[in-house]
Chain A
């Protein structure tokens, strides 16, 4: 049975809460045990956050072909940007097991913008804004090399929150062109939602100071949202709730960060 809208969000949230509770219990129930607790901050990057590259490509090919076939028209394609990511993490290591809970935020550098100006027409400027907030909970196997020098490989669940908004400044100018090619002619299309997924983590850790280490992480995540309702406006500015659509949070993130070990 395919989970209904909302059920997947609830399950993802419940799974993450369970992971967080287990993480807390593990630390609280092991006073004086050989575990190590640490907190970290990290920064990294990903390409094509929320997998909008294909949507952008569909608009670009239509605008470029129109511009070639219609002398006097002008167009500028939208780019698919790199997105920096910033995050926090809490880690508890017990023997060869590492429990990690993270939180990171990713959004493209600058805005994703393009435009099309029909011959003797007005410019229709397209703009896309998007971000992703992800909370992975990971269980990893640790290969210790020496004190605070590790390689680790793990997997876990992730809770994602995404936001995507596409706006057109003058949608009436290109409504016929876009609609004929299966593209939106709305003034705004706005989507947001929460859903779950899974991830694989591989990383390494090196000591900098007695309690400070350097970490390098590569996370591959897989997730797709349920059908999200549009909270946009049509070409005339009237509210619209269609079309519903899904978004993918599948992608790869590379992080570098520092980790501070607490004494417990």
Chain B
């Protein structure tokens, strides 16, 4: 809670500084509002959980859930790739320094589901295990760094900071051909403060508008979370009713967008 309070205070200070009366804001040269969209490969990290570890022979979640076995019709479970959309506000100070606040939403849209082969008796018999992983995140990063303008119409940014991130992770594992059919669902909701690294390039096609390309790296996760939604006890000898997992925000995002600049100079 102290970390959340600190984060909110920093955000308020940034907004107050940028909206300050003219004499105070004399050092600020330019404000920019941008919108963008892109992809987030390998969202969610391993998405490992207790149920997977104890019942489905995995040690690293989606990274080692895939198995093949004669007689089992498997379909590879690919790591999910997500789509990300966002809006940001940049403040360029004295031509070389910037602050950036943004709001982003990312959701896995491709991958994360399939069928693997699974045994619960040491390999005497195998069964098909249908798996589904999905993850979505909402984050508000606060960044600072350095910017260089060159060739009169190109600007480059590099910097870092931290984000307040809220994650939503759902998993589902079911086996219909097992003698004791079961479904195990997990739903996890939590927040964290991942570190963020940022590299961004812009090309001004007018004096106020620029198209952009961005690479972001997030590093962080939530604390361990308990699935308090589902209590699946049917099948699997009643085990695995509750699941435990963290939501991993670590990974890259690649985005393209457009920015509108206003202020004294860009």
Contact B50 A65 (CB under 8 A): yes
Q: Are B50 and A61 in contact (CB under 8 A)?
A: yes
B148 touches A46 (CB 8 A): no
Contact partners of B156 in chain A: CB under 8 A: 151, 204
Cα–Cα distance between A151 and B200 once the two chains are bound (Å): 12
Given A61-B49, A181-B53, A252-B197 in contact, is the A151-B148 Cβ separation under 8 Å?
A: yes
Report whether B219 and A47 are in contact in the complex, using a CB–CB cutoff of 8 Å.
yes
Q: Which one of B12-20, B34-42, B85-93, B241-249 is at the interface?
A: B241-249
Chain A facing B: main interface SS: strand
Asked whether B145 lies within 8 Å of A48 as measured between CB atoms, the reply is: no
Q: Is the CB of B59 within 8 A of A64?
A: no
Could you tell me if A64 and B50 are in contact, using CB atoms closer than 8 angstroms? yes
Q: Give bound CA distance, A252 to B199, whole Å.
A: 13
Chain B residues in 8 Å Cβ range of A216: 145-146, 158-159
A250 to B194, CA, bound (A): 17
Question: Given the complex of chains A and B, what is the CA–CA distance between A158 and B158 in angstroms?
Answer: 22
* Chain A residues positioned under 8 Å from B263 (CB to CB): none
Q: Which of B150, B160, B194, B244 contacts A65 (CB 8 A)?
A: B244
B244 and A254 form a contact (CB under 8 A): no
Q: Which residues of B132-159 have CB atoms within 8 Å of chain A's CB atoms?
A: 145-146, 148, 150, 156, 158-159
| Interfacial chain B residues near A206, Cβ < 8 Å | 96, 146, 148
Residue numbers in A under 8 Å from B250 (CB-CB)? 47-48, 53
Q: Check B223 against A77 for contact (C-beta < 8 Å).
A: yes
**Which residue of chain A has its CB nearest to the CB of B151?**
A145
Contacts of B49 on A, CB cut-off 8 Å?
61
Rounded to whole angstroms, the CA-CA distance of A216 and B199 in the bound complex is 11
Q: How far is the CB of A62 from chain B (nearest CB, A)?
A: 7
B224 lies within 8 A of A77 (CB): yes
Expressed in whole angstroms, the minimum distance between the Cβ of B94 and any Cβ of chain A is: 11
Report how far A23 CA is from B129 CA in the complex, Å.
55
Q: How far is the CA of A228 from the CA of B257 in the complex (A)?
A: 45
B224 CB contact (under 8 Å) in A48, A64, A182: A64
Interface range on chain B (Cβ under 8 Å from partner): 35 or more
- The answer to the question of A214 belonging to the interface, with a C-beta cut-off of 8 Å to chain B, is yes
Closest to B201 in A: A151
User: Which residues on the A side are within 8 Å of B30 (C-beta)?
Assistant: none
Q: Is the interface of B mostly helix, strand, loop or mixed?
A: strand
Is B190 part of the binding interface, using a Cβ–Cβ cutoff of 8 Å? Answer: no
Q: Is B221 an interface residue (CB 8 A)?
A: yes
Cβ of B235 within 8 Å of any chain A Cβ, yes or no, is: no
**Is B217 an interface residue when CB atoms closer than 8 A count as contact?**
yes
Is A218 on the interface with B (CB-CB < 8 A)? yes
B195 within 8 A of A: yes
Contact A53 B226 (CB under 8 A): no
A57 touches B195 (CB 8 A): no
Chain A hits for B219, CB < 8 A: 46-48, 82, 251-252
Q: Is B220 an interface residue (CB 8 A)?
A: yes
Question: In the complex, A61→B49 CA distance in Å?
Answer: 7
Task: Tell me the B170-218 residues at the A interface (CB within 8 Å).
Answer: 194-195, 197, 199, 217
Q: Are A61 and B220 in contact (CB under 8 A)?
A: no
- Determine whether B69 belongs to the interface, using a CB cutoff of 8 Å to chain A: no
Name the distance in Å between A247's Cβ and chain B's nearest Cβ: 14
Cα separation A251 to B217 with both chains bound (whole Å): 10
Interface residues in B233-266 by Cβ distance below 8 A to A read 242, 244-246, 248, 250
Contact B160 A254 (CB under 8 A): yes
Answer yes or no: B54 CB below 8 A from chain A CBs: yes
Q: Mark B40-63, 1 if CB is under 8 A from A, else 0.
A: 000001101110011000011000
CA distance A262 to B248 in the complex (A): 44
Closest chain B residue, CB of each to CB of A46: B219
A57–B199 touching, CB < 8 Å: no
Residue ranges of A at the interface with B (Cβ–Cβ < 8 Å): 45-48, 53-54, 57-58, 60-62, 64-65, 68, 77, 79-80, 82, 143, 145, 149, 151, 181-182, 202-204, 206, 214, 216, 218, 220, 251-252, 254
24 A-B residue pairs with CB within 8 Å: A45-B160, A47-B220, A48-B219, A48-B250, A53-B45, A53-B221, A54-B48, A54-B60, A61-B50, A61-B244, A61-B245, A62-B53, A64-B50, A68-B242, A151-B150, A182-B59, A202-B158, A202-B199, A204-B156, A204-B158, A206-B148, A216-B146, A252-B217, A252-B219
